[in-house]
Copies of this chain bind each other. A is one copy, B any other.
């Protein structure tokens, strides 16, 4: 077996050193009733690499790959072009096969990357400090709510109707059994500002509200100025948590930090990471300096070594589970380190100039397609201010339309019916995302297919 270096003579010699008659002797603590004498039934035996590759390639071949079709699916996961350099770097054994940098003298590579990543995320979000990553955007959002509770000592969280319903679902799951109160609402497809409930959120602020959570651009792609909301929150002693599910948008739109956010969480997949059917992704988490000791997750900080040379270490670990156990700010341990590396490499390749260019390109292409599709008979462009994603209202239910588009080889977007089952006002809605990867031919194919399906 190719992954097992011990030979039979090795095993015998080692048992000799141990003084055990056979391998079973080492499992003596296992009750006999639970100790299996044979390989577990119902599973195949070991397999050559070539056979494994073949079997998995067959499975992979059954999926319709984004890169092979006109592709417009977004909703919190985006297909951007990831430079080949990124994948090369994350495959370096020294990055790929390292553990969490608990021995900093031989982990300066990982640590310096984290320090750079934290800085990049803080600047991108317009915040003062960012952590070394969370699992994904949705879990980061829940952690932010818990952090706000710790800071404000209030237990009510108010969630904007524009927040990704899966993110809201995760929050609901996690708070179902705690004392937290979570206020949610169902969005409406208001033309021009779908899901925009800022006025209501402001009106609803009270002295029990720990935090208001708002997503920008929201699930419908709508972009809003959060400054009034931030001001109102701060006046009420409430923290503003801003969720960003398309990190690329931060290259084009005023940052949450500039608009007054107290905590910014987001999904970083867009930068450096592929679609991967939903994971692994990259939770971004940033806040103000003053709240850093309530942050969840790992933090990397600068220090010096015994020779006075600059170096980096994991720090403020008294917040973390391995030190604080049940009093920790979070239970997170393993995070998304390698995805953070991929993000950081891609961001380094882009630089500010490249990021701005790429974000503008996304926006301009989305505007072009939105205006085209908005002219398809019966189709209404609901989101008029957006980054690279917008919502259409179709003349018919969107779910079957999307399936029919897929039959024509076009992955055209996400139906609101899938995201909001049972909400009949939304079932004609369809979210369309456009990135730099979509060509004019893709636009043509989409428009033609939509025309046909709606005809």
List residues of A whose CB falls within 8 A of some B CB.
Answer: 2, 48-50, 53, 81, 83-84, 88, 91-93, 349, 436-437
Give every chain B residue within 8 A of A49 (Cβ-Cβ): 81, 83-84
Give every chain B residue within 8 A of A92 (Cβ-Cβ): 92-93
Chain B residue nearest to A49 in the complex (CB): B83
Give every chain B residue within 8 A of A48 (Cβ-Cβ): 81
CB < 8 Å: which of B50, B81, B83 contacts A437? B50
A436–B48 Cα gap in the complex (Å)? 11
A83–B81 Cα gap in the complex (Å)? 28
Give every chain B residue within 8 A of A2 (Cβ-Cβ): 349
A81–B47 Cα gap in the complex (Å)? 14
A333–B84 Cα gap in the complex (Å)? 30
Give the oligomeric copy count: 2
A349–B53 Cα gap in the complex (Å)? 17
Give every chain B residue within 8 A of A88 (Cβ-Cβ): 91
A353 → chain B closest CB, angstroms:
11
Chain B residue nearest to A88 in the complex (CB): B91
A2, A50, A53, A88 — most chain B CB neighbours (10 Å) = A50
CB < 8 Å: which of B50, B53, B91, B436 contacts A50? B436
A169 → chain B closest CB, angstroms:
34
A84–B91 Cα gap in the complex (Å)? 13
Chain B residue nearest to A436 in the complex (CB): B50
Query: Are A81 and B50 closer than 8 Å at their CB atoms?
Result: yes
Give every chain B residue within 8 A of A91 (Cβ-Cβ): 88, 91
A434 → chain B closest CB, angstroms:
15
Give 14 CB contacts A-B under 8 Å: A2-B349, A48-B81, A49-B81, A49-B83, A49-B84, A50-B81, A50-B436, A50-B437, A53-B81, A53-B84, A88-B91, A91-B91, A92-B92, A92-B93
A441 → chain B closest CB, angstroms:
11
A81, A349, A437 — most chain B CB neighbours (10 Å) = A81
A84–B57 Cα gap in the complex (Å)? 14
A2–B91 Cα gap in the complex (Å)? 21
A86 → chain B closest CB, angstroms:
11
A93–B49 Cα gap in the complex (Å)? 25
Give every chain B residue within 8 A of A84 (Cβ-Cβ): 49, 53
The 6 closest A-B pairs by CB, nearest first: A50-B81, A49-B83, A50-B437, A49-B81, A49-B84, A88-B91
Give every chain B residue within 8 A of A83 (Cβ-Cβ): 49
A81–B91 Cα gap in the complex (Å)? 22
Give every chain B residue within 8 A of A50 (Cβ-Cβ): 81, 436-437
- With A2-B349, A49-B81, A53-B81 known, 11 other A-B pairs at CB within 8 A are A48-B81, A49-B83, A49-B84, A50-B81, A50-B436, A50-B437, A53-B84, A88-B91, A91-B91, A92-B92, A92-B93
Give every chain B residue within 8 A of A93 (Cβ-Cβ): 92
A349–B49 Cα gap in the complex (Å)? 12
A91–B93 Cα gap in the complex (Å)? 11
A48–B50 Cα gap in the complex (Å)? 35
A2–B354 Cα gap in the complex (Å)? 10
